[in-house]
Structure 1
Amino acid sequence: MDIKEEDSRELKDHPRAQQERLAHIDFMLYFLGELRRQDVAERFGMGPSGVTRDIALYRRFAPGNCEMDPAEKVYRPTPNFQPLFKHSARRVLTALSEGFGEGLGEDWEAMLPSDTPLPLTLPDVAVLAPISRAINRKLAVKLHYTSVKSGKTEKTLVPIALIDTGIRWHVRAYDRDHEEFRDYVLNRMENPVALENSPAGKGEMANDDEQWSRVISLALVPHPSHPRPGLVCMDYGMRDDVLKIKVRAANAGYMLRRWSVDCSPDHHLNGIEYALWLPDSFALYGANNAQLAPGYKDPRELAKSIQAL
Structure 2
Amino acid sequence: MRLSRSGEIKLPIHVIDKEAPLKWEVRQRLTLLEATVLWTDCLGTRDLVNAFGISRVQASNDIGLYLTLFPGSLLYDRSRKCYRAGSSFQPHFLRGTPEEFLHLLKSAAGPDGPVLVLLGELPPVEIVSPLERELRLDTLQAISQAIRESRCLQLDYQSLNREAPVTHTLVPHALVYNGYRWHMRAYSESHGEFRDFVLARIQGKPLLREIRDQNAAADTAWQTYVTLRIGPHPGLTPAQRAVIEDDFGMQQGEVTKRLRAALLPYFLRLMHLEIEPHAGSAREQQIVLLNAEELRPWVRF
Q: What TM-score bracket applies, with the shorter chain setting the length?
A: 0.5 to 0.7
Give the TM-score taking structure 2 as reference length: 0.57
1:41-66 C-alpha deviation (Å, 9 max, x unpaired)? 953139xxxxxxxxxxxxxxxxxxxx
Distance verdict in 2 for CA 1:263–1:42, change over 3 Å = farther
What is the CA–CA distance in structure 2 between the aligned matches of 1:261 and 1:241, rounded to whole Å? 17
What is the CA–CA distance in structure 1 between the aligned matches of 2:283 and 2:175, rounded to whole Å? 31
What is the CA–CA distance in structure 2 between the aligned matches of 1:89 and 1:240, rounded to whole Å? 29
State whether structure 2 residue 262 is matched by structure 1 residue 250: yes
RMSD: 2.8
Count of matched residue positions in the alignment of Structure 1 and Structure 2: 193
Of the three residues 277, 281, 298, the one matched with 2:288 is 277
What is the CA–CA distance in structure 2 between the aligned matches of 1:268 and 1:118, rounded to whole Å? 27
Aligned residue in 2 for 1:155: 168
- Contact 2:232 / 2:244 at 8 angstroms: preserved in 1? yes
1:66-125 C-alpha deviation (Å, 9 max, x unpaired)? xxxxxxxxxxxxxxxxxxxxx968855xx57xx9xxxxxxxxxx9542111122133414
What is the CA–CA distance in structure 1 between the aligned matches of 2:123 and 2:171, rounded to whole Å? 41
Aligned residue in 1 for 2:227: 217
- C-alpha deviation, 1:167, in angstroms: 2.4
Distance verdict in 2 for CA 1:273–1:174, change over 3 Å = same
Stretches of structure 1 that go unaligned for 5 or more consecutive residues are 1-40, 47-86, 100-109, 293-309
- Contact 1:261 / 1:275 at 8 angstroms: preserved in 2? no
Matched position secondary structure for 2:227 = strand
Distance verdict in 2 for CA 1:278–1:193, change over 3 Å = same
Of the three residues 233, 236, 242, the one matched with 1:226 is 236
Matched position secondary structure for 2:190 = coil
1:8-54 C-alpha deviation (Å, 9 max, x unpaired)? xxxxxxxxxxxxxxxxxxxxxxxxxxxxxxxxx953139xxxxxxxx
What is the CA–CA distance in structure 2 between the aligned matches of 1:161 and 1:250, rounded to whole Å? 12
Aligned residue in 2 for 1:83: none
- C-alpha deviation, 1:148, in angstroms: 2.1
State whether structure 2 residue 208 is matched by structure 1 residue 208: no
What is the CA–CA distance in structure 2 between the aligned matches of 1:226 and 1:128, rounded to whole Å? 45
Distance verdict in 2 for CA 1:262–1:179, change over 3 Å = closer
Runs ≥4 residues deviating over 6 A: none
Of the three residues 233, 243, 252, the one matched with 1:240 is 252
Aligned residue in 1 for 2:140: 128
Aligned residue in 2 for 1:170: 183
Distance verdict in 2 for CA 1:88–1:147, change over 3 Å = closer
Of the three residues 274, 277, 286, the one matched with 2:297 is 286
What is the CA–CA distance in structure 1 between the aligned matches of 2:211 and 2:300, rounded to whole Å? 33
- C-alpha deviation, 1:184, in angstroms: 0.8
Stretches of structure 2 that go unaligned for 5 or more consecutive residues are 1-21, 28-109
Amino acid of the structure 2 residue aligned with 1:169: W
Give the TM-score taking structure 1 as reference length: 0.56
State whether structure 2 residue 138 is matched by structure 1 residue 137: no
